[in-house]
Structure 1
Amino acid sequence: MSDPVLDLTEDAFLGGQLRLKQLKAGHRAGHDAMLLAAASSARPGDRVADLGAGIGAAGLAVARRVAGIDLVLVEIDAVLAGLARANAEANAIQADVIVLDVEADAAAFAAAGLGPDSVDAVLTNPPFNDSARHRVSPDTARGIAHMATAATLPKWVHAARRILKSKGTLTLIWRADALAEVLSALDHGFGSLQLLPVHGDARSPANRILVRATKGGRAPTQIHPALMLNDEPGVPNQRVQEILVGKGTLPLASP
């Protein structure tokens, strides 16, 4: 269904438990956001921040999965933040939507209500398209929102570390071929890493990596068995399909 004002579509997620409006063109929420939500370790009563929330897909999916969280959606693009706010309202989910650059300083975060050590769980799908290899959107804000520099991931991880409480968890999704960048960014202040490679199918290299890290964690790193989106090309994996419709979680979500 299209919305003629902003040229939107309305799409069903979690098997129809969540209906979200999003821009018809450009970056669109999909499997990455739902897998990220299924990997979050958020628990009822937690304050949860989705950094770079876009239209709110991942954060709202966590709220639908885990009742009673205090959800904060942080997005730099005012249009996307407006859609996130509207999506929260349409799905009867309470969420605080903040228009803020994730790379802003501590004072800006505190002024927005996200002071140091104030959040139990952070989830994020940072921009990971290399601006040197992809065409940047002519819309400056959207270009920033979807393109990465060498400093992007370290700055986003730093922001997460600053607002997380001790032993709070960060869950993120990133390009699998840039795992070294993830490990480097998490080397300062995070531990107890859990890694889950995501493959299109068993014949293809992993193209995504889901990572859970604990602020101040000291447990050994764990690498979980890989997740195959398809059993073979064109044949969806049943377990993944159940997760995408909200009937299961990923191993990273376990305590």
Structure 2
Amino acid sequence: MPSPCPEITIGLNESLDAILGGRLRFIQSRDGYRFSVDALLLAGFVTIRPHDVVVDLGTGCGVIPIMLLHTRPVDGVVGLEIQSELASQAIRNARLNGFERRMAVVQGDLRAMPLKGGAADVVICNPPYRKLDSGRINPDARRAIARHEIMASLDDILTAACFLLRKRGRFAFVYPSVRLVDAFARMRRFGLEPKQVQFHYPSLGSGAKLAFIEGCSGGRPGIRVLPPILDQGIFSINAPS
């Protein structure tokens, strides 16, 4: 597929996909890990204040940083990604969408954090949802790492978030609603007080599937429950434009 920018290469096993009516474009793997609407909803959920510095753990192809740069008043975003293929896509996507000066991509392991501590106002993560002993592990290593806690557990992610955050900084992530109690308990153990939560329902007749959670480093007790997200939220086919 020819690239819309001649200096940006798109591989034979990659696709070029557009969202938001073509305003943003993303290079993704055709048969590997591809982002879902969960990442887009998380970018809309997190609290962002003017001039915030954001770190995205496990950035994949860079969809969350690019969404934030396009829609929110952030100063800059750093995407940390352990997989070289995805890190390459994130770098190219930043250039493709014109954000290369405000978005940095670092290839590295959050368990051996290569970034400076205490420099982020916000840390965000769309983590693997499944424990290693739950469900079939995908034979494609790229998808398996994204879905199962192979390379990082929730405790690993919380450790990284606490290291990166400034005092009163915010950590936002999405997690299965059935693991909500586990998420809250672990957050408090790491000094991250849950401050707001929003549930995602696939349909009116179903129970909640996902919980979007935000906590504050050293925050006081008290949580706000936001209105529910139904189907794909503002990205649903019949949602108002």
TM bin (shorter chain): 0.7 to 0.9
Shift of 1:43: 2.6
Instruction: Report % sequence identity.
Output: 28
1:69 to 2:75 alignment: yes
Gaps of 5+ in 1: 243-255
Q: Is the 8 A contact 2:194 2:213 kept in 1?
A: no
Counterpart residue identity of residue 129, structure 1 = R
Q: How far apart are the structure 1 equivalents of 2:131 and 2:60?
A: 19
Q: Is the 8 A contact 2:48 2:74 kept in 1?
A: no
Matched with 2:54 is: 48
Q: Is the 8 A contact 2:184 2:194 kept in 1?
A: no
Q: 1:153 to 1:6 in 2, by over 3 A?
A: farther
Q: How far apart are the structure 1 equivalents of 2:176 and 2:2?
A: 31
Shift of 1:102: 1.8
Matched with 1:225 is: 227
Matched with 1:18 is: 24
Q: 1:230 to 1:102 in 2, by over 3 A?
A: closer
Q: How far apart are the structure 2 equivalents of 1:87 and 1:12?
A: 11
Q: 1:2 to 1:195 in 2, by over 3 A?
A: farther
Matched with 2:181 is: 180
Q: How far apart are the structure 1 equivalents of 2:74 and 2:122?
A: 14
Bigger RCO of structures 1 and 2 (CA < 8 A, at least 6 apart): 1
Matched with 1:144 is: 145
Q: 1:138 to 1:38 in 2, by over 3 A?
A: closer
Work out the number of aligned pairs and report it. Answer: 229
Q: How far apart are the structure 1 equivalents of 2:69 and 2:52?
A: 10
Report Cα offsets for 1:224-255 as digits up to 9, x if no partner: 23211269xxx85525xx4xxxxxxxxxxxxx
1:214 to 2:216 alignment: yes
Matched with 2:170 is: 169
TM-score between both structures, scaled by the size of structure 1: 0.81
SS across alignment from 2:80: strand
Q: Is the 8 A contact 2:54 2:78 kept in 1?
A: yes
Q: How far apart are the structure 1 equivalents of 2:170 and 2:45?
A: 11
RMSD (CA atoms): 2.4
TM-score between both structures, scaled by the size of structure 2: 0.86
Q: How far apart are the structure 2 equivalents of 1:82 and 1:206?
A: 34
Q: For 1:125-140, what aligned pairs fall within 5 Å after superposition?
A: 125-132=126-133, 133-139=135-141
Gaps of 5+ in 2: 4-9
Matched with 1:99 is: 107
Shift of 1:92: 0.5
